[in-house]
Structure 1
């Protein structure tokens, strides 16, 4: 159900090998992609050095914006689960020097906890 999950807003873990090829122009020589999650067309990638948020834009998705966030720049993050009437769960990530957090919305499922656990693992290093 991974492909369908992406279309309806659920996050699905992506095979690292597929992401490595897509990011070969972005990652450094001593950097390794360790985990990746897909949300519709966007990707949240965790390397041994940083988090990369990949925002595919436009109808074709050929225009891509890469946000590179060193783990030491993440000041804190929050995970808000979906409720009875509010069907979306939210992950907010605050970056030092930014006033507003980065916000990623998830549909009502448990995948937000997988992403939160990965984020906690890398930020706590």
Structure 2
């Protein structure tokens, strides 16, 4: 991911093996990472059991909040692909009990369709 993309909030895919080294001790028995995406220092990771949001805080990023969302809590989601003049695609996820969605921007050439397929596999 380029520095400018990070500043603009665009997400890029992260290697699963790298994620396993970073958060492997947070996974439960039988849980496997399907895919993950990074926006600056923050990540959102799809496992076969949940969506895991990783929020690194502070100047050093040593303080980290891990937010686990069971797929059954996701009420609906939307994916907006980039057009001819759009610079990014957008993912929005609504959770039960909340009015505002979780939103992430993806670079125009990011695999947004794969993200949609992953969500559909576990949510539907």
Using structure 2 for the length normalisation, give the TM-score: 0.79
Equivalent position SS for 1:36 = strand
Q: Which residue of 2 aligns with 1:63?
A: 63
Moved more, 25-34 or 65-74: 25-34
- Deviation of 1:7 after TM superposition, in Å, equals 5.2
Match of 2:117, SS state, is helix
SS at match of 2:20: helix
Runs of 4+ in 1 over 6 A off after TM superposition: none
Tell me the distance in 1 between the aligned counterparts of 2:111 and 2:11: 6
> Equivalent residue of 1:8, what SS?
helix
**Aligned 8 A contact 1:79 1:89 in 2:** yes
User: How much has 1:86 moved relative to structure 2?
Assistant: 4.9
Q: Structure 2 matches for 1:32-111, cutoff 5 A?
A: 32-83=32-83, 86-111=86-111
Q: After superposing the two structures, state which structure 1 stretch, 66-75 or 102-111, moved more.
A: 102-111
Q: How many residues align?
A: 121
Unaligned runs of 5+ in 2: none
8 A contact 1:37–1:115 mirrored in 2: no
Say whether 1:8 aligns with 2:5. Answer: yes
TM-score (norm 1): 0.78
- Please, which runs of 5 or more residues in structure 1 have no aligned partner? none
